[in-house]
Amino acid sequence: MRPIQGMNRESPLHQNNTIVESPLPSLQIGPYHTVSSALQPLSFEGTLIPWSNFLRSVEHAHINQNWARSRTSRYANGPHSTEADRVHIGDEHGLQGRFQQAIGQAFGAVLEAKAINLYFADFKSSGSNYDKTPDVVGLQDMAGITTIKLVGELKAPWVIQHDLQSAVRRIRDLRQKIAQPVRDMQALGCEYGFISTYNHTIFLRQFQSPSGDWEVWYSPPISSSSCYLPTVPNPQGTHLALPHVSMKQCMLYVCTLASAANPVNNQTVPWVIRVVR
């Protein structure tokens, strides 16, 4: 029997690079939602610097991936399902669920297909006795031991005080907005983390400089609506513009680094302090 015209027998499957290069599903916000800031009265007091060449590193890692090795299925009963539902949210708990659906489930299928030993989870499932509760963690299971490799904090995007785009232009604000995940990264020994409003995400790395001092690197805010546009070099071999990458490309890059990173032992004091508003 000849296939119906216009049908592709491989249509249930997605190439992983297509998934990673695409934007996140749009966030559906309900007519009634929280309005108050969820930022804690904290400030990061250590050295804070932009993550050098972050966007170019993301693109370089993406180009060097072997995307032909595996695919994912959009169907729930297929391998590495990326099926997603449309969910309306009104508070941070709803945002956590939507993030875990769009990233933990759908994007997590790509991590599995790429054999990256890291998966997203809520903090309670980690088994840690840490007395704080990060919104999202990336876990790794190895030799019967579960290790937290990545820490994430989520804030509702409709609350103006949570805006990450403006924060990178006002370092004092940025120090306050990243303080919570940076505190958790230090306490849990994680080299990598992020803070996200879903609409924008800033990726974080705590790094020990050659002098022995610890510092935090931060990426540009990455939009959830961004999709990948390959950078075209000019004839001289230099790039005229920064790469335009997706949030999922950035997350894949950071997850890959985090999965291979050793625990860090940052004893810097003070690192994160409480502030009076």
pLDDT in tens, 21-68: 999 999 989 888 899 999 999 999 999 999 999 999 999 999 998 887
Cα Rg for the chain, rounded, in angstroms? 19
The predicted structure's pLDDT at residue 232: 77
pLDDT more than 90, % of the chain: 70
Mean pLDDT for the stretch of residues 7-15: 47
Question: If you average pLDDT over residues 128-155, what whole number do you get?
Answer: 97
For the chain, what is the mean pLDDT? Answer: 88
Predicted TM-score (pTM) of this structure: 0.89
Q: Are 157 and 34 within 8 A, CB to CB?
A: no
- pLDDT tens string 66-83: 887 656 555 444 555 444
CA of 127: how far to CAs of 42, 146, 159, in Å? 26, 8, 32
| Whole-number pLDDT of residue 4 | 42
Instruction: Write phi, then psi, for 15 (nearest 5 degrees).
Output: -70, 135
For 166, which DSSP code? T
Upstream peptide bond of 270 is cis (omega within 30 degrees of 0): yes
Beta strands in the chain (DSSP E): 13-15, 28-29, 42-44, 47-50, 71-73, 88-89, 119-121, 136-142, 145-154, 192-196, 200-208, 214-218, 222-223, 272-274
